[in-house]
């Protein structure tokens, strides 16, 4: 479980219309229900549960899953975390970043943000239709929102929701965020782009200005939002089943698929090792001169580090330093591999320090 926040009371919700039909958690959670709401705020749990529901539910049946996470940054499947996320800010706040399984860009989650996930058979999947469903739900709460041409939900020109999709042979899902009362200042700090010299092959986020729904109506909060979405979902897909509430700590993480997901997501192989190829040019300046560093990395491993200095005297040592970095994990270089080089030469040590601060990474241990 995450410990970087002060524990909040578990949200208790009373749905007056559905009180009689609310079911308690059984020991065995099956993926064959239609509406799931997670009471857990553990992002690893929620994402793994979402994937489990996606892979195990009957292909032909629609499914809705609603959840929210404690503060974290979520990047898309094929994104570059060092480019998308401000690692220094992440480190300072001890907030994790998580790579999700669907595509798209980077978002910030906290308890003021609610996530929705609609799973449908692939043949009948339509992004626009699912976005419209959520839009109608918000309209019933008195806020006028629209869907833009990228199927994002906006108020005016500011986004309140970002979406992403995953499609497999028989099934597809559309999941998205909904900014209800998120700390936008934290969002801004964590998602600040400052690495123009990093050129990456993956997907770049499309940055947009954002705002909270709460600014436009005081009746909207997590509970009212999920009620509205559930209602709209029931109408659209004619679902009468009761809501399935899911708590963590009650055996769901014993489901092997979920457990494996919760182990895989924070691991280096998934979080960093799935980074597509990128090159990063760093141009640090020192009192003794300028250096050009070009790093080429793929799947989180440094393939090549070319360190060029105008001064031919240090060139050889720089080359050695560069070679030592090969096959090391980007951002997690073992200091021992360069120790002898930097101890012998002050300039190499300066370059190494510049590299460390440029490659700053934060690896969260749940």
Of 121, 188, 242, 276, the residue at the interface with another protein (CB under 8 A) is 276
φ, ψ dihedrals at 264, nearest 5°: -70, -40
Per CB under 8 A, the segment of 106-114, 121-129, 217-225, 345-353 that binds another protein is 121-129
Cα–Cα distance for residue pair 112/257, rounded to 1 Å: 28
Please say which residue, 23 or 170, places its beta carbon nearer to another protein.
170
199 binds another protein, rule: CB under 8 A? no
Question: Which tokens in the block code for residue 2?
Answer: 């995450």
Q: Which is nearer to another protein, 237 or 270 (CB)?
A: 270
Q: List the beta strands (DSSP E) in 247-357.
A: 278-282, 285-286, 289-298, 301-309
- Binding residues for another protein, rule CB under 8 A, total 26
| Shortest Å, Cβ 81 to another protein | 15
Q: Which is nearer to another protein, 126 or 353 (CB)?
A: 126
Residues 273 and 280: beta-carbon distance below 8 Å: no
- Report the candidate in 303, 292, 296, 291 with the shortest Cα–Cα distance to residue 280: 296
- CB-based contacts of 75, cutoff 8 Å, min separation 6: 81, 84, 85, 97, 98, 99, 100, 105, 106
43 binds another protein (CB under 8 A): no
Residue 319 binds another protein, judged by CB under 8 A: no
**203 binds another protein per the rule CB under 8 A:** yes
Given 5, 39, 103, 216, the residue binding another protein (CB under 8 A): 103
Could you write out the DSSP letters of every residue in 113-151? EEEEEEEEEGGG--HHHHHHHHHHHHHHTT---EE-TTS
263: how many CB neighbours lie within 10 A of its CB?
13
Nearest distance in Å: CB 47, another protein:
13
The DSSP symbol for 26 reads P
Instruction: Please identify which residue in 5, 125, 237, 245 interacts with another protein, judged by CB under 8 A.
Output: 125
Alpha-carbon distance of 79 to 202, in angstroms, equals 5
**Segment contacting another protein by CB under 8 A, of 75-83, 218-226, 325-333, 340-348:** 75-83
Give the C-alpha separation, 236 to 318, whole Å: 64
Which residue, 93 or 127, is less far from another protein as judged by CB? 127
Closest CA to 70 of 132, 117, 8, 128: 8
Pick the closest to residue 205 from 280, 104, 300, 299 (CA basis).
104
Return the number of the residue (242 or 276) whose C-beta is nearest another protein.
276
Please measure the distance between the N-terminal and C-terminal CA atoms of the chain and give it in whole angstroms: 6
Choose, by CB under 8 A, the member of 24, 169, 218, 312 that binds another protein.
Answer: 169
**CB of residue 194 to another protein, shortest distance in Å:** 24
Measured distance CA(120)–CA(136) in Å, rounded: 18
As measured in angstroms, the least distance from the Cβ of 202 to another protein is: 8
x/- mask, another protein, residues 128-167, rule CB under 8 A, reads ----------------------xx-----------xxxxx
77 binds another protein (CB under 8 A): yes
Stretch that binds another protein, among 70-78, 285-293, 314-322, 346-354 (CB under 8 A): 70-78
Considering the complex, what minimum distance in angstroms separates the CB of residue 78 from another protein? 5
The answer to whether the CB of 142 falls within 8 A of the CB of 217 is yes
Which residues contact another protein by CB under 8 A?
76-78, 101-105, 125-127, 150-151, 163-169, 201-203, 274, 276-277
């Amino acid at each position: 479980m995450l410990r970087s926040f002060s524990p909040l009371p578990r949200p208790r919700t009373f749905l007056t219309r559905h009180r009689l039909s609310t079911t308690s958690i059984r020991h065995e959670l099956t993926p064959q229900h239609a509406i799931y709401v997670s009471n857990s705020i553990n992002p690893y749990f929620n994402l793994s549960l979402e994937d489990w529901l996606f892979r195990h539910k009957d292909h032909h049946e629609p499914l809705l899953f609603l959840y929210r996470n404690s503060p974290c940054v979520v990047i898309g499947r094929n994104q570059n975390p060092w480019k998308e996320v401000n690692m220094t800010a992440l480190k300072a706040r001890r907030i994790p970043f998580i790579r999700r399984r669907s595509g798209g860009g980077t978002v910030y989650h906290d308890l003021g943000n609610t996530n929705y996930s609609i799973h449908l058979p692939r043949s009948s999947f339509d992004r626009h239709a699912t976005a419209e469903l959520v839009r109608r739900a918000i309209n019933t709460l008195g806020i006028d929102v629209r869907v833009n041409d990228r199927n994002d939900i906006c108020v005016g020109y500011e986004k309140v929701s970002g979406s992403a999709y995953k499609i497999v042979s028989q099934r597809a899902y559309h999941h998205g965020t909904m900014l209800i009362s998120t700390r936008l200042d934290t969002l801004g700090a964590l998602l600040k782009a400052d690495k123009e010299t990093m050129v990456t092959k993956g997907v770049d986020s499309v940055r947009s200005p954002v705002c909270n729904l709460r600014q436009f109506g005081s009746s909207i909060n997590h509970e009212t939002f999920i009620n509205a979405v559930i209602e709209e979902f029931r109408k659209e897909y004619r679902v009468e089943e009761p809501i399935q509430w899911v708590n963590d700590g009650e055996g769901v993480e014993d489901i092997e698929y979920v457990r494996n997901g919760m182990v895989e997501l924070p691991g280096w192989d998934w979080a960093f090792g799935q980074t597509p190829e990128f090159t990063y040019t760093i141009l640090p300046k020192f009192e003794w001169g300028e250096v050009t560093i070009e790093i080429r990395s793929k799947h989180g491993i440094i393939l090549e580090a070319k360190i060029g200095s105008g001064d031919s005297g240090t060139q050889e040592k720089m080359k050695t330093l560069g070679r030592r970095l090969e096959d090391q994990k980007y951002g997690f270089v073992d200091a021992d591999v360069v120790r002898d080089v930097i101890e012998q030469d002050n300039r190499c040590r300066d370059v190494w320090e510049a590299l460390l601060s440029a490659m700053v990474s934060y690896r969260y241990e749940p």
